[in-house]
Copies of this chain bind each other. A is one copy, B any other.
Amino acid sequence: MTVPGSAHRSVKQRIADGLRAGILDGSLPAGGRLPTEAELMERHQVARNTVRDALGLLVHEGLIEARRPLGYFVRDRHRMDYRPQSDLRPRPDDLVQDVFLTTDFGIAGREPSQTIEVSIVAPPPVVAERLRLDAGALVVVRRRVRFLDGEPFYGNDSYFPMDVAEQTAIMSPADIARGANQELARHGRVQVRAVDEFFVRMPTPGEVRRLELSPGTPVAVHVITGFDADNRPLRCVLSVLPGDRHVIVYDRPGLSENDGGPSG
């Protein structure tokens, strides 16, 4: 068709707009089923590929997902909180509860589990940079996936320079009894400072498989670099958090003038 005066929205855009509006205003509730492709073809009198293009927009916006052969469904989000600062101070759970009454923070009743796999590898560039490693240097990595009721919750890969990890329990593919920090401290490597970074991006195909991500699900990558008193990097932890399952929470005293903002 290509109606000239149709507000510069293509057919697939207008089909997507209608469905999106229904999702946002609640007339298509979370978990609800959308019309089938055939129904949308009939309703809008267009070819199947046009309908699929429209649905593809919503899939990549993270609003819907296809469950073949049941149809398309409005995605439902049950996000859990992730607290990077949890070791710094006690969690003011009472206050948070009070503040966010309607948010689902529940973890109760869900069975946690994890897989751990220890290996010696060439580090990815992001890790090599932060650990200040020479090209070709190897690292010990503890690759972990944490699950809740069998559903992957996040990936957590800890990288250690070889000289830091050797002769410690870090090399063992089991949970570290008192945590990696105390294990390192027992060997004279005390971490006194950390830098946290968050990147936001679309997942790699490997992450999609490992964390069972639906299309349209971005991830936050939380990179923690720990340093000793001499400012030498001791470890680098790379957590991959699916965006549809987490909210990252910091609680802090202070004024917090609007946003922090960019700096250079």
Contacts and interface: CB of A to CB of B under 8 A. Distances in A.
B96 A195 contact: yes
Q: How many copies altogether?
A: 2
Interface in A64-87: 79-87
Contact of A107 (B79, B260, B264): B264
Interface stretch (A31-39, A40-48, A237-245): A237-245
A200 B81 CA distance: 12
A200 B246 contact: yes
B88 A264 contact: no
A222 B60 contact: no
A259 B84 contact: yes
A91 B262 CA distance: 12
A260 B219 contact: no
Given A196-B252, A243-B199, A251-B195, A262 B107 contact: yes
A257 interface: yes
A9 to B, nearest CB: 10
23 contacts: A61-B204, A81-B262, A84-B260, A85-B252, A86-B261, A87-B256, A95-B195, A96-B195, A99-B233, A156-B258, A158-B258, A194-B252, A194-B256, A197-B250, A198-B248, A199-B243, A218-B218, A218-B243, A224-B259, A226-B256, A237-B258, A237-B259, A239-B259
Interface of A: 20, 49, 56, 60-62, 79-88, 91, 95-96, 98-103, 105-108, 129-130, 132, 146, 148, 153-154, 156, 158, 179-181, 191-205, 215-216, 218-220, 222, 224-227, 231, 233, 237, 239, 241, 243-244, 246-264
